[in-house]
Amino acid sequence: MSDFEIKPYPELWRSLDMDVERFDKMRLMMGDMFAKSYLGQQNRPAAMAYFDNMIAEIHGGRVKELLAAKAEGRPVIGTFCVYIPEEIVLAAGGICVGLCGGSQGSVPDAEKILPRNICPMVKSAFGFKAGRICPYFQAVDFVYGETTCDAKKKCWEILDRMVPTYVMEIPQCKQPRDIALWNEEVRDFKTKVEEVAGRAITEADLAQAIKVMNGKRRALQRLNTLRHHSPSPISGKDGLLIEQIAFYDEPLRFTEKVNALCDELEERIKARLAVPGPKATRIMVAGTPMALPNWKIHNLVEGAGAVIVNEESCIGTRYFKDLVDENVTGMEAMLTALTDRYKEIDCSCFTPNDERITQVVKEFRDSGAQGIINYSLQFCHTYNIEEVRIREACEAESIPYMFIESDYSPEDLGQLQTRVEAFLEQVGG
Amino acid sequence: MYLGIDLGSRTVKMAVWDGERLLAHEIVESGFEPHRQAEKMLSAYRPTAVVATGYGRHLAADYFADSVITEIKAHAIGIAHHFPECTTLVDVGGQDSKVIALNDKGKVTTFQMNDKCAAGTGRFLEIMAGSLAFTLEEFGAEALQARQEVQINSMCTVFAESEVISMKNRGIPRRHIARAVHASVVDRLAGMLARLGYGDMVAFSGGVARNPCIVAMLTEKLPEARLVVPQLPDITGALGAALHAAKVA
């Protein structure tokens, strides 16, 4: 249907001790999935070409950049969570990459070791390392884990046998003593990164990194605001793709490309160009992150003619809604500013977490959506249980609402399609 | 003349609506090519519009249907036709069970649907009946006569079947086991109803609404509501699709 392909780099993969034969099959499957999900969309913005190319080069071009950085002695750190203070990595000249964890393909590798009844994202991520089928996992100096959920926290102990894994403790309450703990963790993280980089982070380094990350967040905020325009100038699938790429692209280049896309979207709004059409039902998604290449819900919703206009999720607004205060000077004050920014993240691992309930309703209003689909991965207990409170808030505000609990497998697609279409009938009239 | 066709997981249902009343209806097994079955059923008619619903709705649209609606909307329209004042609907079909809330205009306001497994569906009852060597007709009638002596704990069809087999091998009479199977389905439906909330009148549609034991036990579970079953519960979705065809044509 198209000549799109995710470029093969067998030599590079071999040098990273990957299972080349198996990985090449996965590459073809993902390429096919991407072409089917994305390239058939009508009226895509021209500036999406850059992001399509980021997918085409996902297993080569970007990996080469990481290896080049490593060759210069710059640290490359893999992460799984929006709590990792990326500014510190950047300040040390390093690179932060979100690791693979959104595919059913690597789940069987994990299930050889881990229990079956745990989060699919944790299993998928673990499986990518266990099966040696993720070049990023193979390229990182170490993985920085955190304690946001039981599954991750205990898996780090086992993952550490395959790749060095360091864990930062994320508090689960927001009392002053918890914030103090978090502040210490941020400082320890800095020490760790400096150790790997072999150099100290200066005030100027950190101030510059804060500017870079804020610039990236502002670009994503700008894109999100443009998506809120009715009719929407870009599909939700494309919006999600950019939020996913945000976790592995080079920040400055990414910021520039997102801003270029936003310029184009502003022109499209003036020209009244709507994707997929002016009458499409507008849906907001809330809940657990959709890691690349998890496009399951977006494919279903947009396949039924609606458009997704906002993702309240870690791969979504939770990643970019808060900025770090740029007006502070001095290392101590900057580290405190970082702590202050990261403590605003309203992950469901916190209790109480009233801020998130308010935030979901706020994003619904801001986005001009007509209904909310709350999505939770199976066995994600905190998001699954917080669903009760999100549902109650939606009922109280008369917001049409549907909850979907799913994993990466295609076995529930038929039932989900019926549920999604029935929800769109309910919302669209 | 308007045709509604419901391509379900087990059977294809058709309803023929002339604008005022149900002229005809038909139910056949889905077979391997449900759209061919449906086309055969339609061939005797020259309808103004055909609306398809059910699992095969999009397949039907590829071949002959003018438009599609989901079975959730179709059942809601069908029930609003029979019981205009009803605000809660339970539909148990071959492959899924749903609880649907309607407003006073018969519009869907929210709904619950079982996830990906066969728990609490017609298929679950069918498999359990088979493992106890009952026909579907006998299964409900026999269970209705039995006492509640044992309990099925698993909602998973595969695990529940193992439970049934172990009960058989403990010498428990099969009608008591049948009763337990029915109770487990009713408990699940009552749970979905409690989660969504329900009104004074609860309508019950889908093929499973023909099972007298499920109806009796569900009635008992909902003492504060009146459980009503339309005359032809299995064609509620097809009728809803036909009524929708008449409305939009």
Q: What is the ipTM of this complex?
A: 0.91
pLDDT band at B96 (very low <50, low <70, confident <90, very high): confident
Of B73, B114, B115, the CB nearest to A425: B73
pLDDT band at B117 (very low <50, low <70, confident <90, very high): confident
Of A401, A411, A418, the CB nearest to B70: A418
CB contact under 8 A, B96 and A411: no
A36 min Cα distance to partner chain B (Å): 19
Using the 3D structure, point to which of A177, A200, A223 is the last residue of a domain: A200
Chain B residues within an 8 Å CB radius of A400? 110
Q: Which residues form the domain of A391?
A: 213-323+347-428
Q: Which residues partner with B90 through β-bridges?
A: B99, B204
Chain B residues within an 8 Å CB radius of A426? 107-111
pLDDT band at B153 (very low <50, low <70, confident <90, very high): confident
What is the rounded radius of gyration, in angstroms, for the C-alpha atoms of chain A? 21
CATH code (residue A53): 3.40.50.11890
Both A162 and A89 in one domain: the answer is: yes
Both A117 and A49 in one domain: the answer is: yes
Quote the pLDDT of residue B115: 67
Both B36 and B97 in one domain: the answer is: no
Q: How far is CA B44 from CA B40, B106, B149, in A?
A: 8, 31, 50
Task: Provide the phi-psi class of B31: left if phi over 0, else alpha when psi is between -120 and 50, else beta.
Answer: left
Both B166 and B238 in one domain: the answer is: no
Of A402, A405, A426, the CB nearest to B115: A405
In a domain, A193, yes or no: yes
CB contact under 8 A, B110 and A419: no
CB contact under 8 A, A426 and B110: yes
Both A170 and A253 in one domain: the answer is: no
Quote the pLDDT of residue B149: 83
CB contact under 8 A, A425 and B113: no
For chain A, the residues whose C-beta falls within 8 A of a C-beta of chain B are 400-402, 405, 411-412, 414-415, 418-419, 421-422, 425-426
Q: What is the pLDDT of residues B176-234, one digit of tens each?
A: 999 999 999 999 999 999 999 999 999 999 999 999 999 999 999 999 999 999 999 99
How would you list the strands of the sheet with B201-205, edge to edge? B108-113, B97-102, B88-92, B201-205, B226-228
Quote the pLDDT of residue B67: 96
Q: What is the pLDDT of residues A228-262, one digit of tens each?
A: 999 999 999 999 999 999 999 999 999 999 999 99
Residue of B nearest to A407 (CA): B116
Both B119 and B207 in one domain: the answer is: yes
Of B70, B114, B116, the CB nearest to A425: B70
Quote the number of domains for chain A. Answer: 2
Chain B residues within an 8 Å CB radius of A405? 115
H or E element: which one contains A193? helix A176-197
In a domain, A224, yes or no: yes
Both B99 and B221 in one domain: the answer is: yes
Of B55, B113, B116, the CB nearest to A411: B116
Both A100 and A228 in one domain: the answer is: no
Residue of A nearest to B73 (CA): A422
Chain A residues within an 8 Å CB radius of B115? 405, 412, 415
Both B216 and B248 in one domain: the answer is: no
CB contact under 8 A, B115 and A411: no
Both B104 and B214 in one domain: the answer is: yes
Both A188 and A262 in one domain: the answer is: no
Both A228 and A371 in one domain: the answer is: yes
Both A94 and A161 in one domain: the answer is: yes
What is the arithmetic mean of pLDDT over A342-355? 96
CB contact under 8 A, A401 and B110: yes
Using the 3D structure, point to which of A178, A200, A222 is the last residue of a domain: A200
CA distance A317 to A82: 11
Q: How far is CA A8 from CA A21, A56, A197, A231, in A?
A: 11, 9, 30, 38
A115: amino acid identity, one letter: P
A295 min Cα distance to partner chain B (Å): 19
Both A176 and A226 in one domain: the answer is: no
CB contact under 8 A, B72 and A425: yes
Quote the number of domains for chain B. Answer: 2
Quote the pLDDT of residue B116: 62
Chain A residues within an 8 Å CB radius of B69? 425
Interface A–B counts its CB contacts (< 8 A) at 38
CATH code (residue A365): 3.40.50.11900
Of B96, B109, B110, the CB nearest to A415: B96
Count of beta carbons in the 10 Å neighbourhood of residue A311: 28
What is the percentage of chain B residues whose pLDDT exceeds 90?
87
Both A268 and A125 in one domain: the answer is: no
Using the 3D structure, point to which of A172, A200, A228 is the last residue of a domain: A200
Both A18 and A110 in one domain: the answer is: yes
CATH code (residue B136): 3.30.420.40
Both B162 and B95 in one domain: the answer is: yes
B109 min Cα distance to partner chain A (Å): 6
CA distance B215 to B185: 11
Quote the pLDDT of residue B40: 94
Chain B residues within an 8 Å CB radius of A415? 96, 113-116
Alpha helices in A228-313 (DSSP H): 236-245, 251-270, 296-303
Q: Is the pLDDT of residue A1 over 60?
A: no
Q: Which residues form the domain of B5?
A: 1-83+232-249
What is the arithmetic mean of pLDDT over A26-51? 96
Both A232 and A124 in one domain: the answer is: no
Count of beta carbons in the 10 Å neighbourhood of residue A27: 21
Q: Residues near A346 by Cβ (< 8 Å), separated by ≥ 6?
A: A318, A353, A355, A356, A359
Both B75 and B94 in one domain: the answer is: no
B172 min Cα distance to partner chain A (Å): 33
Both B172 and B50 in one domain: the answer is: no
Q: What is the pLDDT of residues A357-384, one digit of tens each?
A: 999 999 999 999 999 999 999 999 999 9
